[in-house]
Structure 1
């Protein structure tokens, strides 16, 4: 069924069996002409010479194990070894004793334990003599041995994490643990089958404002071991982390990148327009941030960070997993903080900064990750093992507090408000550290809130509506434009960006409800603007004024926590040309894909444990995907 709708949008919706998964994408910096693609026309095999990315690889850049102090000291027993085995599809026993397995393996994983107090629970278990030679190490050990696990956690946290009395600042104490971690990654890294990245988390939180970053290495242990991880105890200023990263690259010849966490606990600091000294960011700052931090963790367990209903009042799907009460210290949120915390607001702000500075510091791609502290990367609503080990599945896990409310200001957030999120899809040619890392750097990657929706988007100037229907969709996309994470420039006279989009349902999950294009731009009057446009709607719904004319429906049975796929579509395709394009205006476009309604993880828990649903959260949710943007920059800079 083909049809034209408003906004010069053309959609085809297939309600039959889903087409086979098609493949992945080129680099955002890759450019190729149609003539080049036809240079192998004399070959019988049409695939001779093709080297563009043709597969999506699923993984998690942000998983903690018992080697993190705030995991191991609260009961986590699974280490990197267990985390990698679980990710590649093996059944393991969770720390609280339940058997657990993924519906299908991940393709890759980053174990990202905190640099600060790295491996403290392992040192306590081993009665490490270097640790016991320190006062705080000895007192923590005595509590730990006496079975006072939470006392040990609190003693270590107060003295080391808060007080800064860190006995692990001695490289001789910390190095053996780091080399264990890098050794596990190299052991489980199996090029072509499973990629185990080396990584860690830099956990800066000045005044309780979350500025955490995950650092991901392209390299093996031989290079990664030359430098111990740079932690917040070394400095809580991102510029100092960047200095360390640049030194690492210069001295090892390796490469790494940093991924900021979702900013909803940063109280407006994650995308601030001043540095930590209060100085306005300049072009040098903007260039370093854009180069060293090409990605942003837009969704995870601690809330979703794509959009906020107060910032996007016309977006009916903006209020998803919103955490907006305060920071780690219980400082209450104020509305003026919000534009500097959410991805869409930061992407728009980046357009303004690019015009002012000549460089866009917030030109990032989208990724999803778990931030689980259990060693278990679980993101399905029906297989959610919680944020930390005490919050693994049980009949009474809803009411545990995640974010504290020390002064009773209403800033607390609870376990039942966490999300079973998220995952990252990477378009690459092969499952290796090199291929996946390079795809991340060029932003050919996207986020989901936990499901495995396959999404591709290309933008160019001369696609035809029928191009989205071609079996060689990806080849056509690369030949005539750029993939997610790419850049458009030099708009031909009278032309506007044309987007081709495909979305394929999770083979183990829910059908697709709709495809949306999110556009942000800096208009000629200097105002930052946004628009969300529905470009394909399932179930023969019409598009009226850029919106599906009705909701998709709902098949969820709440008491049994079940749903059916007799609404929505398995495969959706869309072609859209921007009807309001002005070649003088900076802009970005990204795609958001929504699934049909499904039971939330709390609903599955209520059915399994036969308990009441928690108040304050919906029983039903809609998983979604966010692609990395495609940017348009006018010729004047």
Structure 2
């Protein structure tokens, strides 16, 4: 491989992948382009024009991510997809015989998933793990194999702070780019092999990766996940080393995907804006400067969504603890505003999505286009190769920035108190196929959950009757007379729009029933007459004081809740000449957080010091949050005046 020219080797790997993929699938494929597909597959037998909720995870790291591999993760992309389909896999630490000390399995398989390994260092990781290729015996790879945490900091420093490959990569990083061809091809092959192209449409995969940028002075997170629509993808992923700004990433995708021959298409999903120190959505150009209309248009075109929750916290809204503020914003809020670990507390302008959405309305007033017209999803950001592992009672930690378990199982709690199991991405799609799911992501008919499989629908329209919730065809009527989540509603004179808000509890499983719903909320954001950002939360169904609670000594839930909530809501303060956005928040009854569950299982009683055994001091820490209320967030609906 290393003896041939870079471009030649790249072509060989790519064409080999295409050939063997075609050889594997062509005998059973039907041409389905007439059905609106951008690739060959059999049409799905289960096709619902009113769309159905599909649950997935678009943020998954395997052995090819540096931070995962230096913590002992051996999960391959293929094994990650096996896990997503419901199979059990082994989890580090690993014994001398190659057996895993732990295993994990989902209670229910996912509908879709994407491996999103860090683009910047996949070549280096393969080089340091493959004895027969150039660079294996370099001092950098010796450090990687013998002092993995040291290699983690060195490699990441060079990639994110210096935008540079290491010395063993040769001139212009060519040796590491050659090494990256193989894992990139493996990711594509695993996605292809696990994608159900039959009429059953049981499981969908996407080819993608993570672009891992950082703002150097503040340590602000700029990370983004790139999702490709189908199997037509660039020869190599564009990482932060070669495309060291969001706009350069979009340009690379334009050049090597959207403008290339074929059906290549892609979208970009920023994540962890809560840790961006305000730089993810600064309101300026990358690196500073007044935002232009062209930049805003590019951003809106490439980034229709934002990841509102994952392992490293929730990014919905900031909670300062002030009286009268939205107390539900405190949910999984991290104590810092950056990913580098600098001691800087979060603030309302850190990058929380609710404020970002309102900033978008203000930018639209000056630019004529809203660069932050963002739908929402969630995912796990697992570094164990375990997509969808968001269950509180089965949490083993996710690695990455959390507690490593490469050498041994850490005593006590398996992760830092501030981290959580992550969430799930949900789309409303006609069928479980790449094209249908990607189209839902593109039009923002998507929502996020903090882990449960809550069903959430949200529509806005001009003719919704008050009794629409009681109608058996309410969804068909909502589509016919309105727009769904992610959509835009244009004013009709002084007419006040109606909003159909529907949610159903997670049905759960026999051994883990779903939690009842407590309340259903609509959150409105707008810019007032003085140019100030405004937000307001409305309870539209259910109630906060429904009497539900949880016994912290046993984690048994108490009280009643709702299996389904529905409302037709109208904004009494609606102003037809005022731009606004609306999104929903579905809130479950209280339950025990993962950390409290493990404290209870270990018999910890903070009043009895001898029960606080090694590794469980966090159970009694002031920052421990024993109770959570799991939830779902819809993508917004935007209202604009008729003359806008």
Relative to the length of structure 2, the TM-score reads: 0.82
Structure 2 residue 637 is matched with structure 1 residue 630: yes
Structure 2 residue 311 is matched with structure 1 residue 304: no
Partner of 1:178: 184
Matches within 5 A, 1:20-419: 52-96=49-93, 97-118=101-122, 120-132=124-136, 138-145=138-145, 147-158=146-157, 162=161, 164-166=164-166, 167=168, 169-170=173-174, 171-191=177-197, 192-207=201-216, 208-220=219-231, 223-224=232-233, 226-247=234-255, 248-252=257-261, 253-310=263-320, 314-333=325-344, 338-377=348-387, 378-388=389-399, 390-391=403-404, 396=411, 398=413, 415-419=416-420
Residue 50 of structure 1 and its aligned partner are, at CA, apart by: 9.0
User: Aligned partners of 2:365 and 2:343: how far apart in 1?
Assistant: 33
Residue 86 of structure 1 and its aligned partner are, at CA, apart by: 0.5
Residue 334 of structure 1 and its aligned partner are, at CA, apart by: 6.1
Which deviates more from structure 2 when the two are superposed, residues 625-634 or residues 418-427? 418-427
Which deviates more from structure 2 when the two are superposed, residues 434-443 or residues 313-322? 313-322
Match of 2:576 among 583, 597, 600: 583
DSSP-derived class of the 2:553 partner: coil
Relative to the length of structure 1, the TM-score reads: 0.83
- Segments of 5+ residues of structure 1 without an aligned counterpart are 1-48, 401-414, 538-547
Structure 2 residue 539 is matched with structure 1 residue 530: no
User: Aligned partners of 2:488 and 2:536: how far apart in 1?
Assistant: 19
Which structure ranks higher in relative contact order (CA pairs < 8 Å, sequence separation ≥ 6)?
1
User: Aligned partners of 1:460 and 1:391: how far apart in 2?
Assistant: 49
User: Aligned partners of 1:525 and 1:141: how far apart in 2?
Assistant: 58
Matches within 5 A, 1:481-560: 481-491=482-492, 493-508=493-508, 509-537=514-542, 548=543, 551-560=545-554
User: Aligned partners of 1:268 and 1:365: how far apart in 2?
Assistant: 19
Partner of 2:36: none
8 Å CA contact 2:53, 2:429 repeated in 1: yes
8 Å CA contact 2:86, 2:108 repeated in 1: yes
Partner of 1:477: 478
Cα deviation, 1:228-263, whole Å, max 9, x if unaligned, reads 111111132111001011112101441000000121
Match of 1:563 among 549, 554, 557: 557
8 Å CA contact 2:126, 2:180 repeated in 1: no
Do the aligned partners of residues 202 and 306 (structure 1) sit closer, same or farther apart at CA in structure 2, a change above 3 Å counting? Answer: same
User: Aligned partners of 1:587 and 1:155: how far apart in 2?
Assistant: 46
User: Aligned partners of 1:308 and 1:78: how far apart in 2?
Assistant: 35
8 Å CA contact 2:243, 2:252 repeated in 1: no
Do the aligned partners of residues 274 and 386 (structure 1) sit closer, same or farther apart at CA in structure 2, a change above 3 Å counting? Answer: same
8 Å CA contact 1:398, 1:614 repeated in 2: no
Residue 175 of structure 1 and its aligned partner are, at CA, apart by: 1.2
8 Å CA contact 1:59, 1:106 repeated in 2: yes
DSSP-derived class of the 1:310 partner: coil
- Segments of 5+ residues of structure 2 without an aligned counterpart are 1-45, 94-100, 509-513, 605-615
User: Aligned partners of 2:522 and 2:340: how far apart in 1?
Assistant: 37
DSSP-derived class of the 1:290 partner: helix
Residue 121 of structure 1 and its aligned partner are, at CA, apart by: 3.8
Which deviates more from structure 2 when the two are superposed, residues 311-320 or residues 84-93? 311-320
User: Aligned partners of 1:267 and 1:430: how far apart in 2?
Assistant: 38
8 Å CA contact 1:385, 1:391 repeated in 2: no
User: Aligned partners of 1:598 and 1:524: how far apart in 2?
Assistant: 41
Cα deviation, 1:394-433, whole Å, max 9, x if unaligned, reads 6635486xxxxxxxxxxxxxx1110222111110011011
Residue 180 of structure 1 and its aligned partner are, at CA, apart by: 1.1
DSSP-derived class of the 1:131 partner: coil
8 Å CA contact 2:383, 2:398 repeated in 1: yes
8 Å CA contact 2:316, 2:352 repeated in 1: yes
Structure 2 residue 599 is matched with structure 1 residue 606: yes
Which deviates more from structure 2 when the two are superposed, residues 462-471 or residues 387-396? 387-396
Residue 319 of structure 1 and its aligned partner are, at CA, apart by: 1.1
Partner of 2:426: 425
Which deviates more from structure 2 when the two are superposed, residues 611-620 or residues 164-173? 164-173
DSSP-derived class of the 1:233 partner: coil
Which deviates more from structure 2 when the two are superposed, residues 509-518 or residues 226-235? 226-235
User: Aligned partners of 2:144 and 2:507: how far apart in 1?
Assistant: 45
8 Å CA contact 2:317, 2:348 repeated in 1: no
User: Aligned partners of 1:353 and 1:617: how far apart in 2?
Assistant: 38
Which deviates more from structure 2 when the two are superposed, residues 389-398 or residues 71-80? 389-398
Which deviates more from structure 2 when the two are superposed, residues 72-81 or residues 582-591? 72-81
Matches within 5 A, 1:447-458: 447-458=448-459
